[in-house]
């Protein structure tokens, strides 16, 4: 999985019918210091993530193993909202520190 | 998914029979400011996208979960036509702004 | 899919039995101006492509959905021979222009 | 697979229910001299790896073929703890050498 | 597939039980002039490849379609030993030329 910050949303009226009602979120990928890497992915939301939240994104066929994405043509899914992470014993990012 | 602009078409008469009638579109990948990144992908169209339109492309096995691509040797599919996207509360691109 | 030019062949006598009789072709990846990018992939041929021809390559599990590759340990397949492509209304490459 | 060092953990309370109880570890990818490359991946642990240990990470659908990850939306799994590796007859890294 | 040279082995005693007895080889990826690119992958051996041999590596789910890797959490497999390859009519590498 990759760590990313939900930066916005994509509106797409014309889409594969199986994707109706799915929410496409723009996720900016972060490095381990919580800085943006410049990369992004558009992912379907499976956990009710909102703009500004830090999340985990699973890609490929694994991204389809949620209720929101099963058997749908989506190659990336937000499957967790991150509370914090630590590296070598130090907390690198925590939810309300932003 | 990646955001891209449909830039053209690929003509290929000799192809795997299961791909007969499928339309191969050249999609230039865009960054979040709607600028071309230099990367491209050739994708099968599942939603009737035309040249110039901005679309979402799903890759890998997920790209096969549409009527147009099911069980076919295609690794990328256009599964949505983008109307707009916003980043941090600002609309970055909208359909008729080009 | 990616666009590439068939540059040569790989000979491999010792291989997974299910790959016996399969032809491994070296494909140099092209950009949209038909220039080599420096990247390459070794792909199984599913459409009778010859050295010098420009082709489409499908990767990953999608690369197995041809008669030549079904249930075989191959992660890339040539599934179409390209006649031409155009970008923004201009033909960028055509078969006999080379 | 890639070789990496377990650098820390990600805490994520809100997640896909099928991932409850799974441990998300941050793995820094190593080169063959055991130096960090700067890349990382968040992987589910299938073998009881601890922070500081050097491991193998399998990505994509292969990452789901463990008890810990089967049918779950995870695209990377730690499936082995590395004792050592050698390159061209020389041991490049061994567990207690760090 | 990618072309690589088997550079060494990884020893990993603690691993997913389904991988017991599997041999993890370090493969350095080669360019078409048989020079190392700096990239590597750890792959399961399905064809009895030895250190120093030049091989083809299949990645992703395709890497599981061998006796050695079926239904196992491995994302890369050596599925052929290369005898030679040629580019534009010239032999670029042959087994005993090294």
Please give the pLDDT value at position C97: 54
β-sheet bridge partners, residue A58:
A77
* pLDDT higher than 60, residue C78: yes
Question: Does the pLDDT value for residue D90 go beyond 90?
Answer: yes
Q: Which of B10, B19, B78, B98 to mutate to test the interface with C (most CBs of C within 10 A)?
A: B10
Contact between B5 and B28 (Cβ < 8 Å)? yes
Interface test with B, best of A4, A7, A16, A24 (most B CBs within 10 A): A16
Residues C6-34 have pLDDT tens digits of 999 999 999 999 999 999 999 999 999 99
Q: Does the pLDDT value for residue E98 go beyond 50?
A: no
Looking at chain A, the whole-number percentage of residues with pLDDT higher than 90 is 80
| Interchain proximity B79–A43, CB inside 8 Å | no
Mean pLDDT of A34-39: 96
CB A6 within 8 A of CB A49: yes
Chain E touching partners, 3 or more CB pairs below 8 A: C, D
The answer to whether A51 and A6 are in contact (CB under 8 A) is yes
**What does the pLDDT look like over A37-79, one tens digit per residue?**
999 999 999 999 999 999 999 998 877 788 888 888 889 999 9
Q: Which CATH class, in words, describes the domain spanning E2-10+22-80? A: mainly beta
Please tell me the predicted confidence (pLDDT) of residue A97.
54
| Structure tokens that stand for E89 in this block | 């009519």
Q: What is the 3-state secondary structure (H, E, C) of chain D?
A: CEEEEEEEEEECCEECHHHCCCCEEEEEEECCCCCEEEEEEEEEECCCCCCCCEEEEEEHHHHHCCCCCCCCCCCEEEEEECCEEEECCEEEEEHHHC
Percent share of chain C, pLDDT over 70: 98
CA angle C27, C28, C33 (to 5 degrees): 130
H or E element in which residue C2 lies: strand C2-11
Q: Do C11 and E84 touch (CB under 8 A)?
A: yes
Cα C7 from Cα C26, distance rounded (Å):
6
Q: Which residues contact D64 (CB under 8 A, 6 or more apart)?
A: A62, A65, D70, D71, D72, D74, D77, E73
How far is D71 from A58, CA to CA, in rounded Å? 13
What pLDDT does A98 receive? 47
Give the residue, D96 or B10, on which the prediction is more confident. Answer: B10
How many angstroms separate the CA atoms of E17 and E1, rounded? 27
> Rounded to a whole number, what is the distance in Å from the CA of B30 to chain C's nearest CA?
15
Looking at residue C70, its pLDDT comes to 84
Interface contacts A/B by beta carbons within 8 Å: 98
Q: How far is E31 from chain C (nearest CA, A)?
A: 8
Question: In this structure, are residues C27 and C4 in contact, taking their beta carbons and an 8 Å threshold?
Answer: yes
CATH superfamily of D2-13+20-83: EutN/Ccml (2.40.50.220)
- How many CB pairs below 8 Å do chains D and E form together? 99
Give the DSSP letter string of chain E: -EEEEEEEEEE-SSB-GGGTTPPEEEEEEE-TTS-EEEEEEEEEESS---TT-EEEEEEGGGGG-STTTTTSS-SEEEEEE--EEEETTEEEEEGGG-
Query: For residues C23 and C9, what is the distance between their CA atoms, to the nearest angstrom?
Result: 8
pLDDT at E97: 54
Cα radius of gyration (chain B): 14
Average pLDDT, chain A: 93
The answer on pLDDT for B63 being more than 80 is no
* pLDDT, position B97: 54
A interface residues, B as partner, C-beta within 8 Å: 7-16, 18-19, 24, 26, 28, 40-43, 51, 60-61, 63-64, 71-76
Nearest CA in chain B to C68: B16
Fold of B2-11+21-97: OB fold (Dihydrolipoamide Acetyltransferase, E2P) (2.40.50)
Class of domain C2-97: mainly beta
With beta carbons less than 8 A apart as the criterion, state whether B66 and A16 touch: yes
How many beta carbons lie within 10 A of that of residue A21, not counting itself? 6
Give pLDDT tens digits for E3-62: 999 999 999 999 999 999 999 999 999 999 999 999 999 999 999 999 999 999 999 887
Coil vs helix vs strand at C76: strand
Tell me the three-class secondary structure of chain B, residue by residue: CEEEEEEEEEECCEECHHHCCCCEEEEEEECCCCCEEEEEEEEEECCCCCCCCEEEEEEHHHHHCCCCCCCCCCCEEEEEECCEEEECCEEEEEHHHC
**Residue-wise pLDDT tens digits, D73-88:** 889 999 999 999 999 9
CB atoms within 10 A of CB C91: 12
How far lies E17's CA from each of C16, C77, E47, in Å? 23, 32, 21
Distance of alpha carbon E57 from alpha carbon E7, whole angstroms = 13
- pLDDT per residue as tens digits for the range D13-71: 999 999 999 999 999 999 999 999 999 999 999 999 999 999 999 998 877 788 888 88
Question: What are the C-alpha distances in Å from A41 to residues A25, D14, E15?
Answer: 8, 20, 32
* Per-chain mean pLDDT for chain E: 93
Reported CATH class of domain A2-13+21-97: mainly beta
How close C89 comes to chain E (CA, Å)? Answer: 32
pLDDT tier for residue B98 given thresholds of 50, 70 and 90: very low
Q: State whether C73 and E61 contact (CB < 8 Å).
A: no
The residues, any chain, with a CB within 8 Å of residue D78's CB and separated by 6 or more, are: D6, D25, D27, D43, D44, D45, D46, D47, D49, D55, D56, D57
Question: Could you give the ipTM of this predicted complex?
Answer: 0.93
Interface touch D84/E10, C-beta < 8 Å: yes
Comparison of pLDDT for E63 and A84, the residue scoring more: A84
The string of pLDDT tens digits covering residues B4-57 is 999 999 999 999 999 999 999 999 999 999 999 999 999 999 999 999 999 999
């Amino acid at each position: 999985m990759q760590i990313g910050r939900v930066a916005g949303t994509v509106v797409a009226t014309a889409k594969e019918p199986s994707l109706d009602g799915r929410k496409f979120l723009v996720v900016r990928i972060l490095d381990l210091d919580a800085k943006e890497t410049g990369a992004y992915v558009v992912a379907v939301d499976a956990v009710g993530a909102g703009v500004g939240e830090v999340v985990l994104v699973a890609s490929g066929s694994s991204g389809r193993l949620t209720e929101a994405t099963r058997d749908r043509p989506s190659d990336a899914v937000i499957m967790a909202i991150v509370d914090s992470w630590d590296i070598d014993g130090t907390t690198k990012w925590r939810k309300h520190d932003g």
